Structure 1
Amino acid sequence: MSRPQTVEEYLDGFTGPGRELLEQLRALVHESVPDVSEAVKWGSPAFLHPSTGTILVMVSGHQKHAGFVVTPSTMAAFAPDLTGFETGKGTVKLPYGEPVPAELLQRMIAFRVREHEDDGVKWM
């Protein structure tokens, strides 16, 4: 299979709980940043700042979880809130079939937008 060229093509590679969770994350980003644009970067959906084109957030689908990807500085700012999640340098693992921590992710997205707009923090 060829690499997806659009976010829609990427999502078409998933079914069931995986597709459902990725769609929820996509909707959450669009709700949080209404003018965000989408692109496939490094093979995964990326959501870009409306005026600068800088990546704000990425998502990725895996066998048993979705990845919600932000900057390490965003992860550090929310470390106390993420203790119940498996995390990496810039990634929160969200297992399929479990509730999306929407309020937490919305706060992380808002932080990421602010750190980019106010502090000039680019992508990794």
Structure 2
Amino acid sequence: MEAFSEYLTRIDNPGHRDRTEEILAWITNKFPTLEPLIKWNTPMFSDHGTFIIGLSTSKQHISVSPEEAVMARFADDIARAGYSATKGLFRIPWNEPVHYELLEKMIEFNMLDKADCSTFWRK
């Protein structure tokens, strides 16, 4: 979690900071082989140098960005979870539960799908 400490200190709302830290810690503990990093002022995780998932915070929600291919594959699951989405991210409102099973499926898919990927982003 050290990689995210400076980012977390910049979140003014203590509840938002705690929630963000909780999600980042869950990913770190569930997927210990992923590398935590900050790029473009955004906490994210990579695997062998390729992007797996990123998070960003706003006043109303935390955004989860797993890349468009993952968003398309899990669009129905995201909708069933009640999250609003674009083609590149979905939003978890601060007052809504985090569907960790969905996060887990998305991360596992990305890790498997990008196992042979040699670039940070999909081509």
The worse-fitting range, judged by mean Cα deviation, of 93-102 and 31-40 is 31-40
Q: By how many angstroms is 1:122 displaced? A: 4.7
Q: 1:13 aligns with which of 10, 14, 18?
A: 10
Retained in 1: the 8 A contact 2:49–2:120? Answer: no
> Per chain length, whose mean CA-contact separation is higher, i.e. which structure has more relative contact order (CA < 8 Å, sep 6+)?
1
Q: State the Cα deviation string for residues 62-113 of structure 1 (Å, max 9, x = none).
A: 1111011111111111111111211112211011122111111111111111
In structure 2, do the counterparts of structure 1 residues 91 and 110 end up closer, same or farther at CA, with 3 Å as the change threshold? same
Q: 2:29 aligns with which of 12, 28, 31?
A: 31
The worse-fitting range, judged by mean Cα deviation, of 27-36 and 64-73 is 27-36
- How many percent identity over aligned positions? 30
Residue 83 of structure 2: aligned partner: 85
The aligned runs of 1:48-59 (5 Å cut-off) are: 48-49=46-47, 52-59=48-55
Q: 1:100 aligns with which of 91, 95, 98?
A: 98
| Letter of the structure 2 residue corresponding to residue 103 of structure 1 | E
- Alignment of 1:74 onto 2:66: no
Structure 2, unmatched stretches of 5+, are: none
Computed over aligned residues only, the root mean square deviation of the Cα atoms, in angstroms, reads 1.7
Q: State the Cα deviation string for residues 21-72 of structure 1 (Å, max 9, x = none).
A: 21122122213321211221111111111xx221211110111110111111
Structure 1, unmatched stretches of 5+, are: 1-5
Secondary structure of the 1:40 match is strand
TM-score (norm 1): 0.84
Q: Distance in 1 between matches of 2:67 and 2:77?
A: 16
TM-score (norm 2): 0.85
Residue 3 of structure 1: aligned partner: none
Q: 2:58 aligns with which of 52, 56, 62?
A: 62
